Structure 1
Amino acid sequence: MTARLVAGIGIRPGTEAADILACLDEALAIAGLSGMATPRFATLASRAAEAGMVAAAADRSAELVAIPDEALKGYEAACATSSTRIASLYGVGSVAEAAALAGAGPGGTLVQPRIATGRVTCALARTAS
């Protein structure tokens, strides 16, 4: 099996799919991966059913993985950025980075730290295989 990209995405409630996809595309461009498929989106379990998130994943034919809040905490050390506000809410400095790493599974690596655009944060990780 080849390595796959995972998009870790943090959103505020009510965020539109277009905003999510714009942030994802910007993260891919910054990482030098424009146009690459992101077959898995990972986000907080509490945001996985948001209409915008579901629509964004469907638009990219991506599997949508809901990461429980408590599962994010194990990835704190691997996160490249940190938001004090997010850390106080979720116990991890970057939901997007921790979700990307959790979604990538064991051996996953962060390939693009969190970027923020308006109501969305996005980070990219690669699966080990």
Structure 2
Amino acid sequence: MMVAGFGCASRVTDDSLRALLGRAKMAGKIDALACPEARAAVLRPLALTTGVPLIALPAQALAGVTTPTQSPRMLDTFGTGSVAEACALVAVARAGAMGARIVVARMTSEDGLATCAVAEGEQQ
């Protein structure tokens, strides 16, 4: 299972999110998108137009998740080094896949308003 996790500002455009998802798909077939609950409304149109399910995660599920990349601002705000990486890892684990790991580290959109990362895990 592969999940593209997103972190973004509320003012991010669909074009920025779509471009990031295009880059994420280079890792393989994306089975789900994941984001913090507070940004689900922003990601929902992308999920609907691509036919990929959206997993909205509570902020507390992301706190304490160890990520390969580290943003001091995200660590202070969300308790994890990368919201996108944490979303991807948590969503893979919640889907029941084993050995969740980041296969595409955090990428930033050209406008700087969104990040995306891809995690993968083996289905049981």
Task: Give the structure-1-normalised TM-score.
Answer: 0.83
- TM-superposed CA distance for 1:24, in Å, is 1.9
Asked whether 1:42 is paired with 2:39, we answer: no
Asked whether 1:55 is paired with 2:40, we answer: no
Determine the structure 2 residue equivalent to 1:128. 122
Q: 2:88 aligns with which of 100, 115, 123?
A: 100
CA–CA distance in 1 between the matches of 2:80 and 2:64?
8
Unaligned runs of 5+ in 1: none
CA–CA distance in 1 between the matches of 2:45 and 2:68?
28
CA–CA distance in 2 between the matches of 1:48 and 1:8?
12
Whether contact under 8 Å (1:8, 1:97) holds in the other structure is yes
Unaligned runs of 5+ in 2: none
Whether contact under 8 Å (1:18, 1:56) holds in the other structure is no
CA–CA distance in 2 between the matches of 1:74 and 1:109?
16
The alignment of Structure 1 onto Structure 2 pairs a total of residues equal to: 117
CA–CA distance in 2 between the matches of 1:74 and 1:102?
11
CA–CA distance in 2 between the matches of 1:115 and 1:88?
20
Percent identity at matched positions? 32
Aligned 1:1-129 pairs, distance under 5 A: 4-29=1-26, 33=27, 36-50=28-42, 53-76=43-66, 79-105=67-93, 106-117=98-109, 118-129=112-123
